[in-house]
Amino acid sequence: IVSHSQGALLMRAVIQKLPPSLKVHTYVSMAGPQRGQWGPCNKSNSGIGPKIAKKMARPVGWIAFYNPLAQRELSFANYWNDPRHNQLFRKEANFLPEINGYVVKHNEKEDISSMAEQKANFLRIQKAVFVGSSDD
């Protein structure tokens, strides 16, 4: 599996959830935000427009992403991980906290077991390559 950016994060989640009967030999993540993303993109031609980019960088920009509407409608809101609001990220974000094992969703014993299974699934990969980029 070769994946890029948000797709790389999604593919890692898929690999973690695969049943033991299905195996991935090689996983390549190109500029995948594996621990999340926050703030404006470094690249000036990010396509989101200068007004939105400026607001994203403001101290209250996180409010736009840590709410039920954004979590349901904006895919990137699910991996928005503002380190200044870690508790809110763990509570409100629907995707990344669970995939990265940051939260207890059901009960602690079940979640630890689930994360151990997801880790084992991921470790079945024979080769993994993670390539970063300062422009993504």
* Cα 133 to Cα 123: distance, rounded to the nearest angstrom: 24
Beta-bridge partner residues of 2: 28
Q: What is the pTM of this model?
A: 0.79
* Cα 87 to Cα 110: distance, rounded to the nearest angstrom: 21
For 75-98, the pLDDT digits (tens) are 888 999 988 888 999 889 989 998
The one-digit pLDDT tens for each residue of the chain (136 residues) are 999 999 999 999 999 999 989 999 999 999 999 999 887 655 555 556 666 666 666 566 688 889 899 999 988 889 999 888 889 998 899 899 989 988 766 677 777 788 888 999 999 999 999 999 776 6
Taking alpha carbons only, the member of 20, 6, 4 closest to residue 125 is: 20
For 10-24, the pLDDT digits (tens) are 999 999 999 989 999
